Structure 1
Amino acid sequence: MVFWINVPVIILALILGFFLVPNSRDSQKRPLDLFGSLLSIGALLSILYAIIEAPNAGWTSTETLGIGALGVLLTLAFIKWERTTEHPMLPISLFSKMGFTMGLVAISLAFFVMFSFMFTQMLHFQLVRGHTALAAAIRFIPLPLGLMPAAANSDKLVAKFGNNNVVALGLALVCAGMLLFTTVEVGTEYFRIALTFFILGLGMGLTMAPSTTLVMDSIPEDKAGVGSATNDASREVGGALGIAIGGSVLNQI
């Protein structure tokens, strides 16, 4: 029932978006790329399923290798289809733009780390340290305390140092936070864990907004919908892979 709290937030976002978000429209009317959509869904499902089930079925089992290979083949088929179809869901030519590609890579990496880290650390707080779900969630507060001010002020840093440098700094902070976290043990005091959360939050905040700007600034205005959708998809794919791989590794241990 707790997830019902999202419903009024989504309704409010839809209403505000209708009135506040400017319209953008492709200069050409394009039909839905249904086959491309099915290929992308099949590829992602196959790869995620293979990763999640690998600890149980075995990483070198016929099931894992077969489904994983299917995911790779579907990915290649998706790329080929998008290159050749008249109305692609995702124009592959956009990836020739360095800002577009690097922005998506940075966002995917950031969400991969954040989701895998939050998933495994939540289990650590509850199953190892014996905290309740609420107490475990409260201990994550240092992460948004670092993320929100960093994201809110990232535009000022971008104006002074450029998108590329700010994104690089953000990813470096994420890396530093994860390296610091490798020193955490069962008996480590919470202050050190909170410091790790805060550093990760700073890195995430400095990575997300400038990376999105890199993506959106690299494409024509009439492709804003494609750019925005691809940007969001990269977050979801990075997060999904983070949870799948993090969970599989944890299960293996």
Structure 2
Amino acid sequence: MDNPPEQHTGHPRRWQILSVLLVSLLVVVLDNTVLNVALKTIQEELEATQNEIVWAINSYTLVFAALLFTWGVLGDRYGRKKILVIGLVLFGLASALSAFATDPMQLIIARGLMGIGGASVLPVTLAIITVVFPPHERGKAIGLWAASVGGAVALGPLLGGFLLEHFWWGSVFLINVPIVAIGVIGILLLVPESSNPNPGRLDPLGLLMSITGLLLLVYGIQHGGDSQDWLSLGVSGAIIGGLAILILFLWLEIRSDHPSLDISLFGIRSFSASLTTVSLTFAAMTGSLLFLAFYMQLVRGYSPLQAGAFTLPVAVGQLLAAPRSAKMVERFGARKVIGFGLVLAGSVFASFVFLQPDTPAWILLVTWFFLGFGLGNVIAPATTRMTLAVPPEKAGAGSAVQNTVRQVAAALGVAVLSSVVAIAYTNTIRDAPGITELPQA
């Protein structure tokens, strides 16, 4: 199926289409962080062990990261609208199963199913934006997409805290169902179908290798962060095995006449440089949000809702900066805008070492607003540069690559920061009576 003819002048309903895509995007990305403040409650209600609650988190992110690339490739081949609807329906059904889980194993399985469905949304929505918007408007549209991703990551703890304050623990999952229903209806009514007109033969071996390699790599990263034992056979073996399979996958793709991944993308300087920038930024952002959840609840003693509220300035900063970044790039150039954002966000990250239990709340709010503002000036223009470097017919695979690397980087950021926090926490309270276990953030 050819891409719609409106790809040069823009689809006449492109802004309505973008609104529907952002609704679908928000509900899936929120789920990556909404559990940050709900873990203790869920663990108590389901009488879950520490290991079971960790798997309830990791089953989602593990499958999510492993399938991003595959969903993007399938969207290019079989139709992005079709794949998006299938993924959202599965995500919504699995959310309902998660909400009414009666034991930890049910929750772990349901969360894994959520990850399978949710993984379709990031690469496919970005690919559809590339198709329905003309080149001169893509920067603004992608800026809104990037702002939604970053904002949803930051808003997750706030939403989770609010729901736990007023409803039962299952509400953090059940809230997804009506939003998914609205998104699916909007997609069916507004979004045009699109795909690569010349997809070539399917590369099942390549897709299987990418899934296996990513599963092992992300599992190793997550397990290393949870256990704080990066040299154990289970952790190092999974990471090395995953990297080996992914390297073999890249080697085979170079020699394939019908590759799932166009290796030449990495030879495009703007694509590879922006990919590196976004990956490092996401690793720092997701890791810092874990640190902030730990700091607000365990150091300052705030409730889940109060702790979640303190992430709001991060989201506000991103929502203000990202949509406007396209105009800033036109005026100053992408390098200067991204460089400014990196310096600003990096300064805030560095300031975390000065946090004290009694640091005034207004300082935290202002500081974290600037963090969001800096991130908005990095993620949006860098994502735009990557997307514009990819031919529209390969938009799904191109966006899948950047989202996959971004998700792996996010997992690494959480794992490394959780290890650092665990060591610092243990050193601080090792002599305190009655404390025998580190609460998981």
The TM-score normalised by the length of structure 1 is: 0.89
In the TM superposition, what are the counterparts of 1:89-238 in structure 2 within 5 Å?
89-238=260-409
Aligned pair partner of 1:35 in 196, 205, 218? 205
Identify the structure with bigger relative contact order (alpha carbons < 8 Å, sequence gap 6+): 1
Query: Which stretch of the first structure deviates more once superposed, 238-247 or 173-182?
Result: 238-247
Give distance in 2, aligned partners of 1:209 and 1:13.
23
Q: Secondary structure at the match of 2:420?
A: helix
Taking only aligned residues, the RMSD between alpha carbons, in angstroms, comes to: 2.2
Distance 1:19 1:168, change over 3 A: farther
1:51 is matched with which residue? 221
Shift of residue 227, structure 1, vs aligned partner: 1.9
Distance 1:49 1:220, change over 3 A: closer
Give distance in 1, aligned partners of 2:177 and 2:202.
28
Q: Secondary structure at the match of 1:170?
A: helix
**For each residue in 1:156-187, what CA deviation from the matched residue of structure 2 results, as whole angstroms up to 9, or x when unmatched?**
10110122221222222211110122211222
Question: Does the CA contact (< 8 Å) of 2:314 and 2:369 recur in 1?
Answer: yes
Paired residue total: 253
In the TM superposition, what are the counterparts of 1:42-81 in structure 2 within 5 Å?
42-54=212-224, 56=227, 58-81=229-252
Letter in 1 for 2:410: G
1:82 maps to 2:281: no
Aligned pair partner of 1:25 in 195, 200, 208? 195
Shift of residue 133, structure 1, vs aligned partner: 0.8
Moved over 6 A (4+): none
Shift of residue 23, structure 1, vs aligned partner: 5.1
Question: Does the CA contact (< 8 Å) of 2:221 and 2:411 recur in 1?
Answer: no
1:245 maps to 2:419: no
Give distance in 2, aligned partners of 1:69 and 1:13.
39
Give distance in 1, aligned partners of 2:193 and 2:399.
13
Distance 1:226 1:65, change over 3 A: closer
**For each residue in 1:219-250, what CA deviation from the matched residue of structure 2 results, as whole angstroms up to 9, or x when unmatched?**
22222222222233233222222222222332
Distance 1:125 1:40, change over 3 A: same
Question: Does the CA contact (< 8 Å) of 1:170 and 1:207 recur in 2?
Answer: yes
The TM-score normalised by the length of structure 2 is: 0.53
Give the percent of matched residue pairs that are identical in Structure 1 and Structure 2.
34
Question: Does the CA contact (< 8 Å) of 1:24 and 1:221 recur in 2?
Answer: no
**For each residue in 1:74-109, what CA deviation from the matched residue of structure 2 results, as whole angstroms up to 9, or x when unmatched?**
221121122122222221111111111122222212
Letter in 2 for 1:148: L
Query: Which stretch of the first structure deviates more once superposed, 106-115 or 198-207?
Result: 106-115
Question: Does the CA contact (< 8 Å) of 2:222 and 2:411 recur in 1?
Answer: no
Distance 1:67 1:227, change over 3 A: closer
2:428 is matched with which residue? none
* Stretches of structure 2 lacking an aligned partner (at least 5 in a row): 1-169, 425-441
1:12 maps to 2:201: no
Letter in 1 for 2:257: E
